[in-house]
């Protein structure tokens, strides 16, 4: 038996626990978890002292492509992803133009297949016009889910009313991903605020009830229709508790920001660079999010990487756009939480590999197991690094974590047996492929 690649001596995060073992790769797939010492190999990586995780996935990014290459694009965003230890990303549809038609989906399939550094999947945006076709659109290659903006969007992409949401749920059968903030409450409260107020007003405007009301409405409709739902960026203690009663139809995402930053400090320190939707809230919600990591409520942790230029961010609140960069920093920041004892590497692999695979029906990825794609994130839990703006390759060029000292760092990214990042340097050419899903 000749292996293309053997990873020796690593502490491997297998689905059934952490073991020091040797992983053999043939033709881009995991061929063995017990490679004989004298086995023939094209390349050998000595992972002594390192941890080998299943390839980590960021299931929620906005790569702004097409539309804003000066801020981000698929080539730059996926390069940032592999530098940050990610092997697959799921990209959102609210681009210009939006990804809501067969034609735009085909364009994205071809473009991402040529230009993405990571393996790649993308959402199809739900509109009132395309609702009858969603059952077909969700079956296209590379589609991870239908995305519905039930609030907080513009133009065609918003479906805020119960009848419109129910119609989406009645077309197609795969799990639907929701931005859950109640648009009516958001609009009703907007007039209470004025330009130039402190950025901390963002969480007062978009209060807990905006998110919780949106989620209650979605759960009522999901129960009524039986359509599985994924609540993106859950941000309140109330929702995290409530969703435990809906595990028959609902899965739950929380963002790294809501596990890392706390109001009002984040607004005092970062101003508009902390403004995102749903907002970063106070310590009660931060603690509820960590409790939900510990008790299994949360299925997926993502970045919601949503870059804006510093010029746009410099506008006074609420005219500054909401959204932060995060694709390059999510793995280091989560590793720092592991180092601080807030979760285990096994739980991190659950939240960023097997969790996204389970929620979206991703095939042949998300676990280290024979026959699966040979995607690995290799990390050095002893490494000490500092996140800085000048390390960010996203053209927007900034991170809300500038200056954050990290213990634990991704040192190698391997996708289908190919080393694409080693010691903070990308290797080779973009060779990403479309991810595959259960139909
Ligand atoms: Zn988003």
Residue 360, token pair as written in the block? 């979206």
- What are the DSSP calls for 9-69, one per residue? EEEEEETTEEEEEEEEEETTEEEESS--TT-EEEEEEE-TT-EEEEPEEEEEE---TTT-T
The band of 152, judged by pLDDT with boundaries at 50, 70 and 90, is: confident
Distance 33 CA to ligand 1 centre (A): 36
Q: How far is the centre of ligand 1, averaged over its atoms, from the C-alpha of 234 (Å)?
A: 11
Q: What's the DSSP call for residue 246?
A: G
In which band, very low, low, confident or very high, does the pLDDT at 153 lie, cut at 50, 70 and 90?
confident
Tell me the CA–centroid distance for residue 117 and ligand 1, in Å.
21
> pLDDT at residue 304 above 80?
yes
Residue 155 pLDDT > 80, yes or no?
no
The per-residue pLDDT for 156 is 87
Which residue in the list 58, 65, 304, 373 is annotated as catalytic? 304
The pLDDT assigned to 77 comes to 98
Q: What is the arithmetic mean of pLDDT over 215-239? A: 98
Q: What strands lie across the sheet with 143-149, from one edge to the other?
A: 56-61, 86-91, 119-125, 143-149, 176-179, 229-231, 250-255, 300-302
The pLDDT tens digits of the residues spanning 78-99 come to 999 999 999 999 999 999 999 9
CA dist 185 and 382 (Å) reads 47
Q: Work out the average pLDDT over 200-212.
A: 97
pLDDT (tens digit per residue) in 311-346: 999 999 999 999 999 999 999 999 999 999 999 999
Please list, in sequence order, all residues whose beta carbon lies within 8 angstroms of the beta carbon of residue 43, skipping any fewer than 6 positions away: 4, 5, 6
- Would the CATH topology of 2-52+371-426 be identical to that of 59-360? no
What is the reported pLDDT for 227?
A: 98
pLDDT in tens, 275-287: 999 999 999 999 9
Q: Where are the domains of the chain?
A: 2-52+371-426, 59-360
CATH, domain range 59-360: 3.20.20.140
Which candidate, 55, 61, 54, places its Cα nearest to that of 121?
A: 61
Across the range 23-41, mean pLDDT stands at: 97
Catalytic site includes residue 304: yes
C-alpha dist (Å) from residue 147 to 73, 94, 177: 20, 9, 5
Q: What is the mean pLDDT of residues 129-136?
A: 98
Q: How far is the CA of 145 from the centre of ligand 1 (A)?
A: 14
Instruction: Output the CA 59–ligand 1 centroid distance in Å.
Output: 10
Strands of 48-132, DSSP E? 51-54, 56-61, 86-91, 119-125
What are the φ and ψ backbone dihedral angles of 435, each rounded to 5 degrees?
-70, 155
How many Å lie between the centroid of ligand 1 and the Cα of residue 61? Answer: 6
Name the pTM for this structure.
0.98
pLDDT tens digits, 244-266:
999 999 999 999 999 999 999 99
Residue 420 pLDDT greater than 80, yes or no: yes
Cα(121) to ligand 1 centroid in Å equals 15
Task: Pull the structure tokens for residue 282.
Answer: 């106070």
Q: How far is the CA of 92 from the centre of ligand 1 (A)?
A: 7
Residues 102, 108: Cα–Cα separation, whole Å = 10
Query: What pLDDT does 274 receive?
Result: 97
Mean pLDDT, range 176-192, rounded to an integer: 96
Q: Is the pLDDT of residue 193 over 80?
A: yes
Instruction: Determine the distance separating the centroid of ligand 1 and the alpha carbon of 174, expressed in angstroms.
Output: 19
Q: Dump pLDDT digits (tens) for 233-247.
A: 999 999 999 999 999
Distances, alpha carbon 109 to alpha carbons 31, 113, 136, 212, 326, in Å: 29, 6, 16, 35, 23
Closest listed residue to residue 97, CA positions, set 71, 65, 127, 134: 65
Pick the CATH number of 2-52+371-426 from 3.40.50.300, 2.30.40.10, 2.40.37.10, 3.40.50.1820: 2.30.40.10
């Amino acid at each position: 038996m000749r292996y293309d690649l053997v990873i020796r001596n690593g502490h491997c995060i297998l689905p059934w626990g952490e073991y020091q073992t040797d992983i053999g790769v043939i033709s881009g797939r995991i061929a063995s978890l017990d490679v004989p010492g004298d086995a023939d190999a094209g390349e050998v990586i000595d992972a002594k002292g390192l941890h080998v995780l299943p390839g980590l996935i960021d299931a929620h990014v906005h790569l702004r492509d097409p539309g804003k290459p000066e801020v981000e694009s698929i080539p730059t965003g996926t390069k940032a992803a592999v530098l940050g230890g990610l092997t697959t990303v799921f990209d959102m549809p609210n681009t210009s133009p939006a990804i809501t038609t067969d034609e735009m989906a085909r364009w994205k399939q071809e473009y991402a297949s040529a230009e993405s550094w990571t393996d790649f999947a993308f959402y199809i945006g739900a509109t009132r016009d395309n609702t009858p076709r969603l059952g077909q659109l969700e079956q296209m290659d590379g589609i991870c889910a239908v995305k519905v903006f039930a609030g907080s969007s513009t133009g065609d992409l918003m479906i805020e009313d119960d009848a419109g949401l129910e119609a989406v749920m009645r077309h197609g059968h795969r799990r639907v991903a929701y931005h859950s903030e109640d648009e009516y409450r958001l609009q009703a409260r907007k007039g209470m605020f004025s330009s130039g107020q402190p950025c901390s007003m963002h969480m007062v405007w978009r209060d807990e009830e905006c998110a919780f009301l949106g989620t209650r409405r979605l759960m009522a409709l999901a129960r009524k229709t039986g359509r599985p739902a994924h609540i993106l960026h859950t941000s309140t203690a109330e929702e995290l508790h409530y969703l435990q009663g809906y595990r028959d139809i609902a899965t739950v995402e929380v963002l790294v920001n809501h596990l890392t930053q706390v109001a009002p400090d984040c607004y005092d320190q970062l101003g508009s660079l902390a403004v995102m939707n749903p907002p970063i809230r106070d310590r009660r919600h931060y603690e509820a999010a960590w409790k939900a990591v510990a008790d299994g409520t949360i299925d997926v942790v993502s970045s919601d990487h949503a870059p804006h230029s510093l010029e746009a961010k410099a506008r006074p609140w609420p005219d500054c756009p909401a959204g932060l960069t995060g694709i390059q920093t999510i793995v280091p920041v989560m590793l720092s939480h592991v180092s601080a004892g807030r979760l285990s590497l096994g739980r991190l692999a659950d939240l960023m590999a097997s969790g996204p695979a389970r929620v979206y029906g991703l095939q042949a990825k998300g676990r280290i197991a024979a026959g699966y794609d040979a995607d690995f994130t290799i990390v050095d839990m002893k490494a000490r690094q500092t996140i800085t703006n000048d390390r960010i390759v996203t053209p927007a060029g900034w991170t809300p974590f500038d200056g954050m000292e990290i213990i634990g760092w991704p040192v190698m990214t391997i996708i289908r047996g190919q080393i694409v990042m080693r010691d903070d340097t990308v290797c080779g050419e973009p060779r990403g492929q479309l991810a595959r899903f259960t139909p």
